[in-house]
Amino acid sequence: MTITPDQFQCRLARVRSRLVDQGELVIDITEQTFETIYNRDAGKAALLMQRDDEVDQADIEIERDAVDMLTLATKVACPIEPAMIRSLLTAVKVNNELERIADSTTAIAQLVITLGDRDSLFPKTTRVMTNSIVGILRDTVKAFKNTNADKAKSVLACEGNTLAFHELIARDAESRVADGRMGVDTAFSLHAIINQAVLMGDHCTNIAEQVIYEATGTIVRHTTAGWVEQNLPNLKNSADTE
């Protein structure tokens, strides 16, 4: 079996379209899983955990397609443009990050089941944080779909807000435990939930970094001064100076 540059481009478009669908699925699961936190709906949480299988299956299929495309291109020495290779590599990495976000929803669903019918209320900021994560995830998928570096940069800019929410909620929970408004077990569950929310945000920033790389050819690194874009070294020039 062989592949031409046009066929490679066509298959790449299908992979990326499938990945956008994967992103929409993860958004839906995430939003519904967060809602079970406030409804204490263990039954729905259990059902949502089963949907992780859909994400896992799509993850495997997307990975398999990407490997097959590169294998065919290598066998026939198909002349693929660097931009297409970069796009495919970005898709593979984004695929992995989305699967990890789905893993976090499963972890949260399990925590909801563990909470059972405990009636201690979570701080109102918790819902603000989870709504924010859903919004960040939506923007992340849009940034990938449209290869939009500006949208990706807006995702990176949200990192500080996510961490601020985490600290505020953790301190609020400590205060509630101290004055008896919240049990220790419930506080531990809340802390685990917001930790997973932070992880989701981290995966979104990882995707955003890949989108910026694909769109501009620059890599993004986080420093004490904030997010910094760095140009990749020119390998040809480097070789010439040796």
13-55 tens-digit pLDDT: 999 999 999 999 999 999 999 999 998 899 999 999 999 999 9
pLDDT at 75 over 70: yes
**% pLDDT > 70, the chain:** 90
How much is the average pLDDT of 136-142?
Answer: 98
Task: Categorize the per-residue pLDDT at 85 as very low, low, confident or very high, splitting at 50, 70 and 90.
Answer: confident
Write the DSSP string, the chain. Answer: ----HHHHHHHHHHHHHHHHHHHHHHHHHHHHHHHHHHHT-HHHHHHHHHTHHHHHHHHHHHHHHHHHHHHHHHHTT----HHHHHHHHHHHHHHHHHHHHHHHHHHHHHHHHHHTT--PPPPHHHHHHHHHHHHHHHHHHHHHHHT-HHHHHHHHHTHHHHHHHHHHHHHHHHHHHHTTSS-HHHHHHHHHHHHHHHHHHHHHHHHHHHHHHHHHSEEEEEETTEEEEEEPP-HHHHHHT-
5-240 folds as Methane Monooxygenase Hydroxylase; Chain G, domain 1 (1.20.58)
What pTM, to 2 d.p., does this model score?
0.87
pLDDT at 232 over 70: no
